[in-house]
Amino acid sequence: MTHSINNPCGISDKYRERYGEVWANLDFEVAEKISEEVFKTDPMNTLIGELCIYNQRIKMTYKDLINYSKSMNILMNEAYVGGTKTDMFDVRVKSQTFTLRRHELRKLSETLVDASSAALRAYELGLYL
């Protein structure tokens, strides 16, 4: 069973219609088994899971999560300061470019931050067995 950060199957039709399918299906699925030993010896290169965006799955290591969560947070802040609701933003994630609206960019940023912090907390609690 994969663990999901956003649980897209639990999003109601009302929110799917309001925010769109890209927003509703954006998710991060945590890998089924993350070895505690691998995370302990080489945490930055440990595969944490997959980012699901535009029906594509992008494998993410812990280092990727940290880097992309910081860069998406900066881009999101710039979008909310100077942009409008209808503006589109090009986002590059591991050699793939996606065009997102402001609210989709926000959800992407929040998803990456949540996945990064969840991975670290799970390791601290000893859940990777």
Tokens of 20: 């769109």
Domain count, the chain: 1
In a domain, 55, yes or no: yes
Per-position DSSP letters for 80-114, written without gaps between them? HHH--TT-EEEEEETTEEEEEEHHHHHHHHHHHHH
| Structural domain containing residue 64 | 3-124
Residues 6+ apart with CB under 8 A from 68: 60, 93, 112
Is residue 62 within 8 A of residue 42, CB to CB? The reply is: no
Q: Give tens-digit pLDDT for 66-121.
A: 999 999 999 999 888 877 888 999 999 999 999 999 999 999 999 999 999 988 88
In a domain, 23, yes or no: yes
Q: Give tens-digit pLDDT for 5-16.
A: 998 888 999 999
Q: Is the pLDDT of residue 1 over 50?
A: no
36 vs 85, higher pLDDT? 85
pLDDT band at 40 (very low <50, low <70, confident <90, very high): confident
Residues 6+ apart with CB under 8 A from 37: none
In a domain, 129, yes or no: no
In a domain, 116, yes or no: yes
